[in-house]
């Protein structure tokens, strides 16, 4: 296991906080009947296996950066800052607009932060947002920079095989964002942990399209550019590796499951999350979810769910919030924080004008 250990903000205890959140879900809603028809399963089967009822799909002219820009703009509005205040823009995605440049560069330009703010992508698949959050926290804590924008965004609909019932029924498109900045005393990010398990990297993958298997007519014909997942293997990974790691992380930070006011996990699968919450001893009423409506939105799922919880009054000032993400790599990202108001007042929306 590769781990960063327990990381604490460097300026003061809890010196970096989430100041605002935002999210963007495409307007096109896709129900279980539609995805189930192509995958050869029914609405009842999908709900029984995953508890997902619908998901969103980007329009043909909407890319990952379009969703990210809309989510980022909403987060900045909630935080009361402008693009000129940003020193860092980090986009977590495994479905970038294109191989180069980083999608974050496109997003920074779309937000008006394209001159001066450092911009880069993080790819830790569905763990990406928490990886990016921890990274941005360390950058801010070790510098004089005041604000960072961290976004998780994915358009998985572009890499799914519609006939693969293991994946096509799970994933939706979306983006979620947070603004990081100075915390009030007793508030902010408390601890973080990142870990990788490369020996199990084949549980989740897109085999072709990179330097090992470049795109060819043969790889396209073989369907090697589709997202693939060993569902049973992922479930075992979460139960055997992720759950014990979360318990240890919380205890090492000086807390217990009973202290957690809000648990914001990666929205992988409703049934899997039920099992995970029960194993951790976190009450279901304290587990924040969006999977029923939005499905699994990849690296966007944690920030989308955090934004939803904030907007619907599920987070109170001073709440202890645990975020946990896991995904391809295999990878795991954890973050513990004391929630800081104000709560964002914007509403989740589709992007307005696609960025070029």
Place of tokens 């763990």: 127
Which one of 126, 134, 269, 308 is the catalytic residue?
126
- Give the HSE-up count for residue 326: Cα atoms under 13 Å, Cβ half-sphere: 26
- Give me the residues paired with residue 178 across strands: 21, 150
Examine the residue annotation and report whether 266 is marked as an active-site residue of this protein.
yes
* Dihedral sign (CA 172, 27, 175, 322): negative
Number of helices (H), then strands (E), in the chain: 11, 14
Among the options 266, 269, 286, 308, which is catalytic?
266
Asked if omega into 342 is within 30° of 0 (cis), the reply is yes
Residue position matching structure tokens 């408390």: 190
Contact assessment for residue 317 and residue 337, using Cβ atoms and an 8 Å cutoff: no
Residue 155 to residue 133: CA distance in whole angstroms: 20
115 is catalytic: no
| Cα distances (Å, whole numbers) of residue 182 to 80, 137, 188, 262 | 13, 10, 8, 22
Judge whether 229 and 168 are in contact, CB under 8 Å: no
Catalytic residue at 126? yes
Q: Are 96 and 63 within 8 A, CB to CB?
A: no
Beta-strand ranges (E) seen in the chain are 2-3, 16-24, 28-31, 54-57, 86-92, 118-122, 147-155, 173-182, 188-196, 204-205, 228-229, 262-265, 320-327, 331-338
Can you list the pairs that 102-108 forms with residues at least 24 positions away whose Cβ atoms lie under 8 Å?
Answer: 103/64, 103/65, 103/68, 103/153, 104/151, 106/65, 106/355, 107/65, 107/68, 107/69, 107/72, 107/151, 107/355, 108/83
Catalytic residue among 32, 123, 269, 296: 296
Tokens for 39?
């995958």
Name residues whose C-beta falls within 8 Å of residue 211's C-beta, 6 or more positions apart in sequence: none
Give the catalytic positions in this structure: 126, 266, 296
């Amino acid at each position: 296991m590769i781990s960063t250990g327990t990381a604490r903000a460097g300026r003061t205890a809890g010196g970096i906080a989430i100041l605002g959140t935002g999210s963007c879900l495409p307007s096109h809603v896709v129900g279980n009947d539609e995805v189930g028809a192509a995958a050869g399963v029914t609405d009842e089967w999908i709900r029984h296996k995953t508890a997902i009822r619908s998901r969103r799909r980007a329009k043909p002219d909407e890319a990952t950066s379009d969703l990210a820009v809309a989510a980022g703009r909403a987060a900045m509005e909630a935080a009361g800052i402008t693009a000129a205040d940003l020193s860092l823009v980090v986009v977590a995605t495994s479905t970038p607009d294109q191989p180069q440049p980083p999608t974050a560069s496109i997003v920074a330009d779309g937000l008006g932060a394209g001159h001066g703010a450092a911009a880069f992508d993080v790819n830790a698949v569905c763990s990406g947002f928490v990886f990016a959050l921890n990274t941005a926290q360390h950058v801010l804590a070790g510098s004089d920079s005041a604000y960072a924008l961290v976004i998780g965004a994915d358009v998985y609909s572009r890499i799914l095989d519609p006939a693969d019932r293991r994946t096509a029924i799970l994933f939706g498109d979306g983006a979620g964002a947070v603004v990081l900045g100075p915390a009030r005393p007793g508030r902010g990010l408390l601890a973080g942990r990142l870990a990788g398990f490369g020996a199990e990297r084949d549980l989740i993958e897109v085999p072709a399209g990179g330097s090992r298997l470049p795109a060819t007519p043969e790889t396209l014909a073989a369907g090697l550019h589709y997202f693939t997942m060993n569902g049973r293997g992922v479930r075992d990974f979460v139960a055997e590796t992720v759950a014990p790691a979360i318990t240890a992380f919380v205890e090492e930070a000086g807390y217990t499951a009973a202290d957690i006011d809000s648990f914001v996990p990666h929205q992988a699968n409703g049934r899997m999350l039920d099992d995970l919450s029960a194993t951790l001893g976190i009450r279901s009423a304290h587990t924040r979810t969006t999977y029923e409506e939005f499905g699994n939105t990849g690296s966007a799922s944690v920030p989308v769910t955090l934004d939803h919880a904030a907007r619907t009054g599920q987070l109170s000032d001073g709440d202890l919030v645990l975020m946990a993400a896991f995904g391809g790599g295999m990878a795991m990202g954890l973050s513990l924080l004391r929630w800081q108001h104000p709560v964002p007042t914007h509403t989740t929306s589709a992007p307005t004008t696609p960025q070029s």
